[in-house]
Amino acid sequence: MILFVVTGAIISGLCESLHRGLATPSLTDERRASGPRSRREIEELFAIWSRNIQEIFWMTDAKLDQLLFISPGL
């Protein structure tokens, strides 16, 4: 019974993640094909992505041993 409940919870979580992923803004094929983007566009896309993801992630600079970014989900 416990295995059944755990499996159901995992499947439910994966379905929720898929639903959120499909609901987030995406780029059109035309925009993808337009070539390199400006730094501002890349930063805007990253901001949208990081606000809409509920998982916790971070970025570090390995050379400087410095934390650069922590996701808002934290």
Conformation bin of residue 38: beta by default, left when phi > 0, alpha when psi is -120 to 50: beta
Global pTM value: 0.43
pLDDT digits (tens, 9 = 90+) for 37-70: 788 888 888 888 888 888 888 889 888 888 888 8
If 0-12 CB within 10 Å is exposed, 13-18 middle and 19+ buried, where does residue 45 land? middle
Are 66 and 60 in contact by the 8 Å Cβ rule? The answer is yes
